[in-house]
Amino acid sequence: MEDNNELIPIRPTPLADYPGPLGLLWRLRKDLLSIWPESAYQEEFFGGPVMKNHMYVANSPDTVEHVLVKNNDNYERKSPYMRKALEPLLGDGLFVSDGELWRERRRLEQPAFHPSHFQAYGQSMSDIVVNTCERWDSEHLGKEIRVLPEMAWLTAEIISQCMFDYPLGLKKSRQIVDGFADFQASVEQFDLSAFFGWPEWLPNIPQWRRVSSHARKIHVIVEDIIAMGKAGKVRDNTLLSHLLATQKQASPVIHMSEEQVRNEAVVILMAGHETTANSLSWAIYLISQYPRVEEKLLAELKRVLNGRPATYEDLSRLKYTRAIFEEAMRLYPPVPILSRVALEGEIIKDRNVPAESIMLVIPWLLHRHELLWDKPHHFIPERFTDESTRKHDKYAYVPFSAGPRFCLGAAFGLMEATICLATIMQRFSLKMSDKFTPGYECRLTLRPSNGLPMVVKRREI
């Protein structure tokens, strides 16, 4: 695999020593990525008692497959921390629900992600990213933009138009993106109650109020979207129309209340824009650091697009563009930690995992595991260009999770990212200003810090 660039993109320095339980908790609240020692990038399965709980990390393809796929029934529930953090925003929505409720909702929402819709979705994606490019052309050339919110407005507009047939417009996209950023900032990094064994229902009042008020800002917009849907102003056969149709059903299993419809719509809006926006921003940051990759990308864009925007029909030939995005998700997985609770105790790799243990799969560690990846901290998109270069184990790379809870929008997100990245990078060069040192923020998701300021210039096509 050719790679002349020895630059390693930003990452925290691994811990030299174990800081003790309180030191660890303090760091956990600040940043989930900097608490890991060098050994965590080499071990297959580790963990044990933490305060009154037990916590384990499945850190090899076989243990990941065991937890997320083969023995998923035992690890179906998200951890109390995850549920507590997300419930004010998502309620009982698909991302946090489990059991029969989750199965019923997943069955209901799946058809909106059927490949038969992809050509139409691809056209919307292409039109919407062209609008963004035109705005940059008229307002931002030669100036600094914040790439992360730009990508989030773009992906929020895409998800809203494709799933709800509702054009958000820049003002509402901004409200949603700002609302979620504030929401994330007010959710404590790791709720201490999960560690000290305080009852799960014990609320943290000041934080709860802040979190709820930020969630409310997003709920108000989603309620508007639903009102339009109810007024018959959106087309049939959208995810929103499938959700609303349940309200005409008498069966208590299928019927959804106003609040339940809102919760599911919020899940789709939030899960459907934030992760793709983070990865697009990371990809743009990485491209700006690696001239070799940028040159190869531009050659592909010239060959396949020759100046026109990318569409659904181009996807099979935009292999390098897609590989850049996949490698960006390896280095900076937008969901860096997947957490579950063990229903029953069991033994994994000779370790006793008691019932109620927190079980973590940490894409951040797994994707940089020194026994699974060659040059794990380097940016090398060639790892993903075609099947012959994909040497990694299926369960060494899980940006979309795996098993029954595999991301519902994975194929949608990959298509969206490829179309947007190709169209934007063909038209603009984005460079970081010398004054800015890149960093990351890791809360519920992993994103570049300070919105990733970069200067936009027009390319000669």
Which stretches of the chain bind ligand HEM, using CB under 6 A?
94-95, 106, 159, 267-268, 271-272, 275-276, 279, 329, 334-335, 338, 399-401, 405, 407-409, 412-413
Distance CA 410, CA 321 (A): 16
Rank residues 149 and 272 by Cβ distance to ligand HEM and give the closer one.
Answer: 272
Rank residues 15 and 101 by Cβ distance to ligand HEM and give the closer one.
Answer: 101
Determine phi and psi for 36, rounding to 5 degrees.
-95, 130
Distance CA 222, CA 262 (A): 7
Rank residues 424 and 460 by Cβ distance to ligand HEM and give the closer one.
Answer: 424
Rank residues 176 and 268 by Cβ distance to ligand HEM and give the closer one.
Answer: 268
| Token pair for 197 | 């064994």
Tell me 373's DSSP state.
S
Rank residues 265 and 454 by Cβ distance to ligand HEM and give the closer one.
Answer: 265
Nearest approach in angstroms of CB 407 to ligand HEM is: 3
Phi-psi region of 332 (alpha: psi -120 to 50; beta: other; left: phi over 0): beta
Q: Which residue is nearest to ligand HEM (CB)?
A: 409
Nearest approach in angstroms of CB 141 to ligand HEM is: 28
Rank residues 112 and 226 by Cβ distance to ligand HEM and give the closer one.
Answer: 112
Nearest approach in angstroms of CB 205 to ligand HEM is: 27
Contact status, residue 294 vs residue 287, Cβ threshold 8 Å: yes
Rank residues 268 and 286 by Cβ distance to ligand HEM and give the closer one.
Answer: 268
Distance CA 432, CA 289 (A): 9
Nearest approach in angstroms of CB 291 to ligand HEM is: 25
Contact status, residue 16 vs residue 344, Cβ threshold 8 Å: no
Burial 445-461 (b: 16+ CB within 10 A, else e): bbbbeebbbbbbeeeee
Residue from 224, 208, 213, 330 nearest 279 by CA: 330
Counting Cα atoms < 13 Å in the Cβ hemisphere of 357 gives 24
Rank residues 193 and 281 by Cβ distance to ligand HEM and give the closer one.
Answer: 281
Nearest approach in angstroms of CB 371 to ligand HEM is: 22
Nearest approach in angstroms of CB 163 to ligand HEM is: 6
Nearest approach in angstroms of CB 148 to ligand HEM is: 14
Rank residues 264 and 300 by Cβ distance to ligand HEM and give the closer one.
Answer: 264
Distance CA 285, CA 164 (A): 31
Helix, strand, or coil (residue 45): strand
What is the crossing angle of helices 274-289 and 410-427, to 10°? 40
Nearest approach in angstroms of CB 307 to ligand HEM is: 27
Nearest approach in angstroms of CB 249 to ligand HEM is: 21
Q: Count CB neighbours of 141 within 10 A.
A: 12
Residue from 12, 68, 19 nearest 395 by CA: 68
Helix, strand, or coil (residue 66): helix
Tell me 54's DSSP state.
E
Angle at the Cα of 268 (from 132 to 253), degrees rounded to 5? 160
